[in-house]
């Protein structure tokens, strides 16, 4: 009998999923030239991948509740490796994009670790452990593009996908050896899950936690869509300088995850979400006010983003633990649904930021979107507090 997976295994699973999303971003212009297509075509390897990831989270969660965490992870990694080989062998942009889309099956390695934590721990303890997992995972998005750019310069864009494959093999071996099953009783049948879905869907607590997570992460996604424009058009930064400043939210997020890991058990997940949401709104509100006064500077803008990352690092592990605690037997489904909504909402806010940021607009539209999203997250956790005060049985 295999034991429950170690924390390092869960971090590795989440990390390889995060790595596959952005390690090759510096290679996109070169890939467009190699395949002789417009940059917008190659950019589909990011946007279409994100869309597929949202769908797969909706499917992967219920499947992991039915068949168990271990087989979903192993099959997901195996499918990812086959798709990665396809990207390396592709000779046309269409073939590459098909295999790139298939690579999104690795998304199950993002949702399953959250469900495993909920299988093993309850409430505040689950939030604390999720803090450790996401803290380790947060380093990957911060460093991956830098690492990918170096690989591209030394060996070409294919090197990024070769590294994805090698890491996928290593994580598959680790998961095979260490990933014990944490679903009890052989899993819940899909029929039984369908009977329980309305209970989850009617829970005010579930939707409150889900909205808190979606809107909090939505501020970050909006930043991803608008920060390059602000750095270039508003502050006149070089691409390299923008890249350096891009580390700001990741550093804040790591610190917020550390705070969640250390404090969630003592303060409780609801209070941690509230504190994180207040930090996000306060930082972005001040940055917006300074911008409206015409005094914004890179240090002020990106400093506020770092504080937003700190708040997100406190909100997200606790909100994820909260939404999975509503119906513990549907932890995988809750994790998948919450993740899908976060990705979809984030994609919409990112697109909105891109549409509103025009030459001469300054940073105001982006900061307004982010502050509004943070305010919505604060309202969502306030709704949870209000419902619990009324002794909502859900």
Is residue 271 scored above 60 in pLDDT? yes
3-state secondary structure of 85: helix
Q: Which residue has the higher pLDDT, 215 or 28?
A: 215
Residue 193 within any structural domain of the chain = no
Is residue 391 scored above 60 in pLDDT? no
pLDDT at 7: 84
Mean pLDDT lowest for which of 81-90, 101-110, 142-151, 380-389?
142-151
By the 8 A CB rule, do 84 and 161 touch?
Answer: yes
Domain of 244? 198-389
Alpha-carbon distance of 143 to 102, in angstroms, equals 24
Tell me the DSSP string of 8-70.
HHHHHHHHHHHHHHHTTGGGHHHHHHHHT--HHHHHHHHHHHHHHHHHHHHHHHHHHHHH-HH
| In the block, residue with structure tokens 């095979």 | 176
Mean pLDDT, to the nearest integer, of 356-382?
88
pLDDT tens profile 234-265: 888 776 676 677 777 878 888 888 888 888 88
Is residue 15 scored above 80 in pLDDT? yes
By the 8 A CB rule, do 290 and 310 touch?
Answer: no
- One domain for residues 317 and 348: yes
> What CATH number should be reported for the domain holding residue 367?
1.20.1250.20
pLDDT at 175: 92
pLDDT at 384: 86
Over its C-alpha atoms, the chain yields an Rg (Å, rounded) of 20
pLDDT at 267: 85
Is residue 215 scored above 80 in pLDDT? yes
pLDDT at 239: 60
pLDDT-based confidence at residue 136 (cuts at 50, 70, 90): low
By the 8 A CB rule, do 179 and 70 touch?
Answer: yes
| C-alpha distance across the termini of the chain, in Å | 35
DSSP 8-state secondary structure symbol assigned to residue 4: P
Residue 184 within any structural domain of the chain = no
For the chain, percent of residues with pLDDT exceeding 90: 26
pLDDT at 356: 79
pLDDT at 219: 87
Mean pLDDT lowest for which of 46-55, 85-94, 186-195?
186-195
Alpha-carbon distance of 251 to 249, in angstroms, equals 5
pLDDT at 243: 64
Mean pLDDT, to the nearest integer, of 89-118?
89
- One domain for residues 341 and 255: yes
Cβ neighbours of residue 154 under 8 Å, at least 6 residues apart? none
- Backbone angles phi and psi of 35, in degrees to 5: -90, 0
| In the block, residue with structure tokens 């001040």 | 286
By the 8 A CB rule, do 249 and 220 touch?
Answer: yes
- One domain for residues 174 and 203: no
Alpha-carbon distance of 130 to 211, in angstroms, equals 18
- One domain for residues 46 and 84: yes
Alpha-carbon distance of 265 to 272, in angstroms, equals 10
- One domain for residues 356 and 231: yes
- One domain for residues 309 and 265: yes
pLDDT tens profile 67-94: 888 899 999 999 999 999 999 999 898 9
pLDDT at 250: 79
pLDDT at 187: 61
Sign of CA dihedral 379, 384, 390, 394: positive
Residue 121 within any structural domain of the chain = yes
Closest listed residue to residue 46, CA positions, set 63, 29, 65:
29
Assigned token pair, 109: 């390695």
pLDDT at 390: 66
- One domain for residues 246 and 364: yes
């Amino acid at each position: 009998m295999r034991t429950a997976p170690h924390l390092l295994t869960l971090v590795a699973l989440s990390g390889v999923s995060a790595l596959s999303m952005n390690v090759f971003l510096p290679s996109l212009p070169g890939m467009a030239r190699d395949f002789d297509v417009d940059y917008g075509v190659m950019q589909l390897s990011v946007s279409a991948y994100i869309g597929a990831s949202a769908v797969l989270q909706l499917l992967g969660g219920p499947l992991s509740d039915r068949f168990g965490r271990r087989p979903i992870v192993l099959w997901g990694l195996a499918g990812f490796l086959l798709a990665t080989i396809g990207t390396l062998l592709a000779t046309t942009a269409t073939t590459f994009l098909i295999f790139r889309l298939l690579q999104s099956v690795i998304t199950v390695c993002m949702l399953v670790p959250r469900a495993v934590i909920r299988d093993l721990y309850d409430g505040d303890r689950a939030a604390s452990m999720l803090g450790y997992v996401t803290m380790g995972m947060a380093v990957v998005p911060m460093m991956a593009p830098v690492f990918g750019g170096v690989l591209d310069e030394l060996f070409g864009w294919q090197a990024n996908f070769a590294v994805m494959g090698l890491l996928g093999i290593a994580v598959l071996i680790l998961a095979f050896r260490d990933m014990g099953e944490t679903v009890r009783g052989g899993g819940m049948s899909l029929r039984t899950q369908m009977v329980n879905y309305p209970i989850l869907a009617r829970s005010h607590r579930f939707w409150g936690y889900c909205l808190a997570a979606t809107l909090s992460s939505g501020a970050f996604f909006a930043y991803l869509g608008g920060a390059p424009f602000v750095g270039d058009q508003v502050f006149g930064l070089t691409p390299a300088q923008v890249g350096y400043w891009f580390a700001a939210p990741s550093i804040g997020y790591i610190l917020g995850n550390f705070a969640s890991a250390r404090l969630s058990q003592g303060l409780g997940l609801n209070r941690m979400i509230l504190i994180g949401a207040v930090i996000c709104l306060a930082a972005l509100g001040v940055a917006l006010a300074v911008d409206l006064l015409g005094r914004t500077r890179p240090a002020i803008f990106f400093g506020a983003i770092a504080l937003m990352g700190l708040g997100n690092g406190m909100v997200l592990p606790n909100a994820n633990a909260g939404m999975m605690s509503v119906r513990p037997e549907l932890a995988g489904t809750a994790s998948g649904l919450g993740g899908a909504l976060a990705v979809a909402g984030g994609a919409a806010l990112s697109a909105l930021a891109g549409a509103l940021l025009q030459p001469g607009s300054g940073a105001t539209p982006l900061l307004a979107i982010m502050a509004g999203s943070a305010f919505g997250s604060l309202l969502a956790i306030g709704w949870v507090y209000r419902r619990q005060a009324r002794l909502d049985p859900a």
